Amino acid sequence: MGKKYLLVSLEDERLKKFSEIFGNKTSHKIINFLAEAGEASEKDISDKLGIPINTVEYNLKKMADAEIISKSKNFFWSKKGKKIKMYLLSNKSIIISPKSKNVISEIKQIVPVALISGLFALGLKFYFENETQIAESSPAMQKAAEAATASAAAIPANPWIWFLGGVFFVLTLIIIIKAITHFKDIK
């Protein structure tokens, strides 16, 4: 099942379509007729409103493109064997937002932070690997390294993994908070 609303920002091209449709007297008559009748064919609308069928067809196409009306699942066959489509109003609310908030643009703001944090975590990894290699390379340093490892046992192994995990945890929280505020703005 589709969305029950149409979210349109002020920069969206669909807003122009909406203004053309709602500013057009013929479209307005068709919308009122469909609201009362429920569903109707192009011919029914043309006959009941006294509007030429090509005008009705043009307006119905514009309204269908803007998702204001939709084609019904019901249809019937004409005497000539042509399929006659039925139209009805879409049960959707139109929401006009002042500024378009795109999820992709929100993620693009977070990607540089994630990349810089990842590079920093790699730097930490190489730093701690070099520390252990230097400590193990000389015999005199080996005794000091053994003493240092006893006190360093309290420090978790691979601190860069913990750092990277913390970064991803914080970024996930930021994304969740932004998503929640975005959906609250929609409502």
Q: What is the CATH number of the domain that holds 22?
A: 1.10.10.10
Same domain for 131 and 161, yes or no, is yes
* pTM of the full structure: 0.49
Helices (H), the chain: 14-23, 25-37, 42-49, 53-65, 103-137, 139-152, 159-186
Q: What span, in angstroms and rounded, lies between the C-alpha atoms of 185 and 187?
A: 6
pLDDT-above-90 percentage for the chain: 10
Of 97, 126, 161, the one marking the end of a domain is 97
Residue 15 domain boundaries: 5-97
Same domain for 124 and 152, yes or no, is yes
Same domain for 89 and 139, yes or no, is no
Identify the three-state secondary structure at position 75: strand
Residue whose structure tokens are 């879409």 = 90
For residue 186, give the amino acid letter.
Answer: I
Same domain for 15 and 82, yes or no, is yes
Of 46, 64, 97, the one marking the end of a domain is 97
pLDDT-above-70 percentage for the chain: 76
Same domain for 140 and 59, yes or no, is no
Number of domains in the chain: 2
Predicted confidence band at 185 (pLDDT cuts at 50, 70, 90)?
low
Same domain for 81 and 113, yes or no, is no
What average pLDDT score do residues 157-179 get? Answer: 81
Which of 186, 178, 35, 37 has its CA nearest to residue 100?
186
Is residue 94 pLDDT above 70, yes or no? yes
Same domain for 90 and 13, yes or no, is yes
Same domain for 38 and 65, yes or no, is yes
